[in-house]
A and B are shown apart, each in its own frame.
Chain A
Amino acid sequence: MTEARPGFRVFLGRFRTDRAAVFGAVVAGLLVLLALLAPVLTALEGQDISSFHNDLVDSARGGVPIGPLGGMSGQHWLGVEPQTGRDLFARVAQGAQISLLVAVSATVVQVFLGVVVGLAAGLGSKLLDTVLTRLADIAIAFPVIIFSLALLTIVPDSVPRPLLLAVVIGVLGWGGTARIARGQTLSLRTRDFVAAARLSGAGGFRVARREILPGLAAPVITYAALLLPTNVITEAALSFLGVGVRPPTSSWGQMLSTATTWFRSDVMYVLIPAFMVFLTVLSFTLMGEGVRVALDPRTTRLTRKAG
């Protein structure tokens, strides 16, 4: 990706003029850094993720953190968790890891399945096209969160949860990408360069990979950029409902569901994970909209909401 092709340079130039998109990209980049460097930053803070600090919570008041703003201090940058006194910054940073890991992997699964199905529908027989398009319509109409919720009941606990979440969200949410990939394939297959490739003896697989696939990049990347924040919401929602990652691993959704008991006594414990989810979704959405406008200024807005 290092070679600056003219197309890429035009894209960068357009993207840079969009202030909201640049803001989104910077914040998203910082969040990715937070996730990647979570253990380093926690070590820098001088804390670890699992130590209980009984001296930092007020056991007489049910375990509320001692000190203002949930016990924020130089030692504990975001304060401590109520009841256990575990360091909140470490847990929030791990939440960033889980959130981004699940959302990005789910997006990869969605894009992969969607592109494969879209190519097959666009290049295959009429019957195959009808069946796959119908399937995609159904997949789009179905509520991913509710079906993930149901599917997660029958999966044994031995499967690692982040991986499982990514696969379930990905396998249920490929419909939109498939629809876009199919549409683009249909418009590309009648073009002269595809006919030329066919005439020179290229088979279906070769045509799909060498001629069509590069043409799918722009619309699929655009769509994927907007899928990512939706997947962040889905992961947070599933963790909030209690079927996401299991303790002791922490996630923002899980914090929010325990936070309901601490409404009155520890506001920061509610506000911090809520703000993190908001910031992540907003920054990736702004960036995605910027990518969309920069790649194709004519298309209409595609964002849909998950939960």
Chain B
Amino acid sequence: MLGYAVRRIGGAAAVLLIMSAVVYLLFYLMPANPAQLVCGIKTCTPDRLAVISHSLGLDEPLYLQYWHFLVGLVAGRDISMGPSTVHCAAPCLGYSFQYTEPVLQMILDRLPVSGSLVVGAAVLWLSFGIGIGVLSALRRGRWVDHTVNALVLGGLAVPIFITGLLALMVFCVYLQWIPFPTWVPLDQDPLLWAQNLILPWIVLALTTMPVYVRMSRAGMLETLAEDHIRTARAYGLPERQVIGRHALRGALSPLITLAALDVAAILTSSVLTESVFGLPGIGQLTVQAVRNVDLPVVVGLVLLIGFVIVVCNTIADLLYAAVDKRVSVS
């Protein structure tokens, strides 16, 4: 197991290094004039363009530029702003000349919004998703099961931006049950925080849920057919205990890895949710950076998202190996 873990983590580190090189080269090699993109399309002046060209070291060979970027990631770097220099502390993901702020700081500022959104929604989709899936398995072939199956298929066909728009239209415009969501920090007013996030939470949870319903239904059906459940029933254990203590454990362990592997889908959904509801999180930052063509922010975000995904996948593999010993042996 230890050997497997070491190999797996080493592999992940190699992937991260290669990925950073590919992303850096792609985004700084492909455009005709990267300095122009770093500087921005609308807000750029010729003076600033010259400063940025020098500051990015575009006169240096590409491998040196990438090397400076890597050093910045590990040790931080100084970024020349013409007369003055700015220090971008490690891990330096880059510096936005449009916002005159380190990219990492911009991301950290928006983290509470995206964090609140995803954590709150995760509570909903895990509890309801698993609950409905298990219920559907226990009522297999009855009307509950059929309804759930149809809803899951329908749910998979509705993209999150449509669910979100319809929810906004119905609950905020027509019924006026809640005002249009705005961001209120948790430490400022917990009640307003929750009230503003309730609709985004439900929408994000509804979109993510179908997969969890399917997985927990399938897992439950599989476990219920196993010998140890028959044995438990044969011993005369009450059904509540058979399900709650014995079946549930076996049925839900695949969900641990699903949750870790699902990061990509969740990141995508939260980007879309944030732009539907106008929440100032990381997703909105991504969309804004793309619209303003703010290259350092785009590159920083891509690298960070890649990092999160590689790390989560590695964790998922290790967890899976810990649950199922056959994986690490082979």
Contacts and interface: CB of A to CB of B under 8 A. Distances in A.
Contacts of B261: 141
B269 A263 contact: no
Contacts of B271: 145-146, 149, 241
A34 interface: no
Contacts of A208: none
A307 B160 contact: yes
B27 A267 contact: no
A77 interface: no
B257 interface: no
Contacts of A155: 30
A142 B166 contact: no
Contacts of B281: none
B51 interface: no
B203 to A, nearest CB: 12
Given A141-B264, A282-B154, A307-B269, A149 B159 contact: no
B268 A278 contact: no
Interface stretch (A62-70, A101-109, A215-223, A297-305): A297-305
A281 B165 CA distance: 17
Interface stretch (B59-67, B233-241, B298-306): B298-306
B268 A145 contact: yes
A288 B301 CA distance: 34
Contacts of B154: 282
Contact of A143 (B26, B31, B265, B289): B265
A153 B15 CA distance: 24
Contacts of B160: 307
A83 B156 CA distance: 33
B313 A141 contact: yes
Nearest to A138: B15
A278 B267 contact: no
Interface string A261-295: 00110010010001001100110011000000000
B207 interface: yes
Contacts of A145: 268, 271-272
B169 interface: yes
B118 interface: no
Given A156-B32, A241-B275, A150 B290 contact: yes
Contacts of B302: 146-147, 150
For chain B, which range describes its interface: under 10, 10 to 19, 20 to 34, or 35 or more residues? 35 or more
A119 B156 CA distance: 31
B32 to A, nearest CB: 7
Contacts of A153: 37, 289-290, 293, 295, 298
Given A145-B271, A153-B290, A282 B157 contact: yes
Interface string A104-139: 000000000000000000000000000000100110
B287 A241 contact: yes
A27 B128 CA distance: 32
A100 interface: no
Nearest to B289: A153
Contacts of A35: none
A143 B159 contact: no
B265 A154 contact: no
Nearest to B208: A305
Contacts of A285: 153, 156-157
B173 interface: yes
A134 B157 contact: no
B301 A150 contact: yes
Contacts of A146: 267-268, 271, 286, 302, 305
Contacts of B289: 153
A268 B168 CA distance: 15
Contacts of A236: 159, 161
A1 B30 CA distance: 42
Contacts of B301: 150
Contacts of B290: 149-150, 152-153, 241, 243
Contacts of B93: none
Contact of A277 (B162, B173, B210): B162
Contact of A256 (B30, B161, B210): B161
A240 interface: yes
Contacts of B267: 143, 146
Given A256-B162, A274-B166, A307-B161, 14 more contacts: A138-B310, A143-B265, A146-B286, A152-B290, A154-B27, A241-B272, A242-B291, A260-B165, A270-B165, A285-B153, A285-B156, A304-B211, A305-B210, A307-B269
Instruction: Please name the 10 residue pairs, one residue from A and one from B, whose CB atoms are nearest each other, closest first.
Output: A282-B157, A143-B264, A281-B157, A143-B268, A274-B162, A233-B159, A145-B268, A263-B173, A154-B31, A150-B302
26 contacts: A134-B11, A143-B305, A143-B309, A144-B268, A146-B286, A150-B299, A151-B26, A152-B290, A153-B290, A153-B295, A154-B31, A155-B30, A237-B159, A241-B275, A241-B287, A242-B291, A260-B168, A263-B173, A264-B173, A282-B153, A285-B153, A305-B210, A305-B211, A307-B161, A307-B268, A307-B272
